[in-house]
Chains A and B, each alone.
Chain A
Amino acid sequence: MPFSVHRIAGLKYGQDRQDVAFLECSEDADINAKEAFDGLSEKRQLEMRNKFDYWKRGGHNDLYFHGFNEIGYRECFVFKRKQAGTYYRFYGFLIHPLPLSDARYRLCILVSHAHKNQANTDPNELNFVNVMRVRVDVITAVKKEFPEKPGGSNATLHRSQR
């Protein structure tokens, strides 16, 4: 399937130790995080950008986003939103796309979007994300958008210059 990874307009990439991006696939309707984000009102997009930006810079806040401690789901991640009593979730996975040039640089690739009436996470959402996380063509798409930087391991020292 043709996977692609898209950067989020207005966020600065390569400035921090971690960034957020969307996975997209025209042949899989369950990969709908980008479509859901694009369909949000300007106000709600701003709200999500604030959360992405806050996380990118190392902020912690379980009310707005968090990872999962359960074995098997530790690379999964969720950005949360609540509106008029409904819970909205952007599910994704964490990946280190630059093991050679910047090993600690981390991406959160958002895959799917869900809305529901209870706060708890549906394991099926995380299972789907986990399937995507290990697919070779997904990883290839990530590495295409975030390729290794020239300069080998020293690139870590020069992140701000990218």
Chain B
Amino acid sequence: MPHYTAANDEAFINRITFDFIAQMANRLETCKMKQSELAEKLEVGDSAVSQVLNLSRMNLTLKLMVRYARAVGMKVAVVAYDDHDPNNENGPVGSEIFSSSWEKIGRPRDIWSVSEINFAATHCLCTISDWKLGWANLTTSEGALSTAMETPLYLIPKDTKEANTAHA
């Protein structure tokens, strides 16, 4: 059976609107901001904010989403993505996945920064793949061989020919 958001566009919109409102609710909690303070910032009544946070009102416009986000010190991105699920069998990917991934890679501000992060990650992995792990035969300052737990793990370069073959 497909995910419930596959039933119609309304169900899908409802789910991603819920995601947005949950983010706002979480933000209020982490900022210790009361609903009444948010209402004051938005210049609306307390009940209007309560209706949104209690999910009684789900027909939020993009403009209203931006107003809510700005009022709690956040911004909004509209992200289209391809998760190789054209029939929506699995439902949408949560917005928190995108925001936490963005935070995890260092909050890049532009595409070049993302490319640099990608290059650094790929380059690092390639370099490490040319090395092999090994235990160093170390002695401590007292002369005794250190135990396995104390012995640092070293990266030992593979045979150059072997590394080149791997790349070829």
Contacts and interface: CB of A to CB of B under 8 A. Distances in A.
Interface of A: 9-12, 15, 46-47, 49-51, 53-54, 57, 59-64, 81-83
A93 B154 CA distance: 48
A9 B3 CA distance: 9
B118 to A, nearest CB: 25
Given A47-B58, A50-B18, A54-B94, 11 more contacts: A9-B4, A10-B1, A11-B4, A12-B90, A15-B90, A51-B18, A53-B4, A57-B94, A59-B22, A61-B25, A83-B56
Interface of B: 1-4, 7, 11, 14-15, 18-19, 22, 25-26, 29, 53-56, 58, 89-91, 94, 96
Given A47-B55, A54-B94, A10 B4 contact: yes
A11 B7 CA distance: 12
A10 B94 contact: no
B14 A50 contact: yes
Contact of A54 (B18, B29, B53, B90): B18
Most chain A CB within a 10 A radius of its CB, from B25, B89, B90, B91: B91
Most chain A CB within a 10 A radius of its CB, from B18, B29, B90: B18
B15 A53 contact: yes
